[in-house]
Amino acid sequence: MAYKGGCGMPYYLIMCRSLTYAQRAARVLEQNGISGIVTKAPQGAVAEGGCAYCVKVAGRRLADALTALNGGGFEQNKVFLLGQGGDLQEVPR
């Protein structure tokens, strides 16, 4: 079951290669009317020498967020569903 915040919706983490990249991604989302929160990636999502930051988006906006990022020239990154207790499940793409 997906982690549900106060509004009862699941959240997804869009992985980014750096803090700057995550901040740019969040700006693109904001310009497209999508709320994204830059946060440090959970340990289970970070590969050796890989992504250390991510953008957290509401589950109902994931498709719109990925479309906006693709249109903004961002490379395809891994996406994780944030589960209860902080467990992660990679979303197949």
Confidence of residue 2 (pLDDT cuts 50, 70, 90): very low
What is the number of domains present in the chain? Answer: 1
Rounded to an integer, the average pLDDT of 46-51 is 63
The label of the residue with tokens 């992985």 reads 15
* Mean model confidence pLDDT for the chain: 84
Q: Are 4 and 81 in contact (CB under 8 A)?
A: no
Give me the sheet containing 11-16, strands edge to edge: 37-40, 53-58, 11-16, 79-82, 88-90
Q: Using CA atoms, how far apart are residues 35 and 65, in angstroms rounded to an integer?
A: 9
Res. 4: pLDDT tops 50: no
CATH number, position 48: 3.30.70.1530
Confidence of residue 44 (pLDDT cuts 50, 70, 90): low
Report yes or no on 83 lying in a domain.
yes
Confidence of residue 5 (pLDDT cuts 50, 70, 90): very low
Report yes or no on 4 lying in a domain.
no
How many CA atoms lie less than 13 Å away from 58 in the CB half-sphere?
A: 10
